[in-house]
């Protein structure tokens, strides 16, 4: 687990999505930010529930992306 508070991790994940500008899986985010996949999944779920990110299905896989503006 990371020593950072959850709110800081959410900001870090959101900034990562904005920098990449593409759909990613939780594993992509975990690898890119050097975090545990389980922790990243919790963060992504919270961000999706807040409406900051959204799940999308493409080719049988589930990706996460920034909402369409």
pLDDT exceeds cutoff 80 at 20: yes
State how far the Cα of 62 lies from the Cα of 69, in Å rounded to an integer.
20
Please list the residues that pair with 58 across neighbouring strands.
61
Closest CA to 26 of 53, 50, 49: 53
pTM metric for this prediction: 0.88
Distance from CA of residue 43 to its chain's centroid? 7
Closest CA to 13 of 65, 62, 56, 67: 65
pLDDT tens per residue, range 22-43: 999 999 999 999 999 999 999 9
Architecture field, domain 6-65: Orthogonal Bundle (1.10)
Q: Which residue ranges make up each domain of the chain?
A: 6-65
């Amino acid at each position: 687990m990371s020593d950072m508070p959850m709110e800081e991790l959410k900001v870090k994940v959101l900034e990562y999505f904005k920098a990449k500008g593409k759909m990613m899986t939780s594993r992509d985010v975990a690898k890119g930010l050097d975090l545990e996949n389980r922790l990243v999944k919790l963060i992504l779920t919270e961000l999706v529930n807040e409406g900051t990110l959204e799940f999308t299905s493409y080719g049988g896989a589930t990706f996460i992306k920034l909402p369409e503006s």
